[in-house]
Amino acid sequence: MPYVLLAKGRKPEKGWPLVIALHGGGGTGEKLEHPHAWPVNTREWQAQMALFERVYPGDALYFIPRMADDNDGRWYYDYCQEMYDQVIRRAILFRDVDPDRIYITGISEGGYTAFRLPGNQPGRFAAAAAMAAAGPPRG
């Protein structure tokens, strides 16, 4: 899974806050030959990096992954949750991240996950911000 880990500002005395920033897009209805072949997710990932540059506040580390598989297109699947756990553990161990200041944010599909995960795992995240997110329709 492509990703970037970007620092903005200065490290606070107690360690960096870590923000997991998830892009929108999701999955395509087509079966793609390559897990990262859908340009929508690539553009949305680049948009998250632009938000880091222009909007997101400083004095934090930002983990900005690209969707793991455009065929699935869901940030809340188990393999993604395992990835968040790995990133958080390694960031605490190797990047001087404050374990009490782990945040998650996202737009659209990423926002749905930022809304969903903290409710299921309240001890993991200090706060969450879901932007332009909605749950699946009930039928």
> Tell me: the pLDDT tens digits for 69-102?
999 889 999 999 999 999 999 999 999 999 999 9
d(CA 115, CA 105): 8
Contact of 109 with 24, CB cutoff 8 Å: yes
Contact of 96 with 85, CB cutoff 8 Å: no
Instruction: Decide if pLDDT at 54 tops 70.
Output: yes
Residue 29 has what pLDDT? 81
Crossing angle of the two packed helices 109-120 and 78-94, in degrees rounded to 10: 80
d(CA 77, CA 116): 11
Show me where the domains of the chain are located: 3-28+35-131
Q: How large is the average pLDDT for residues 35-53?
A: 96
CATH assignment, 3-28+35-131: 3.40.50.1820
Q: What is the pTM of this model?
A: 0.94
Q: How large is the average pLDDT for residues 9-17?
A: 97
Q: Which residue did the predictor score with more confidence, 120 or 107?
A: 107
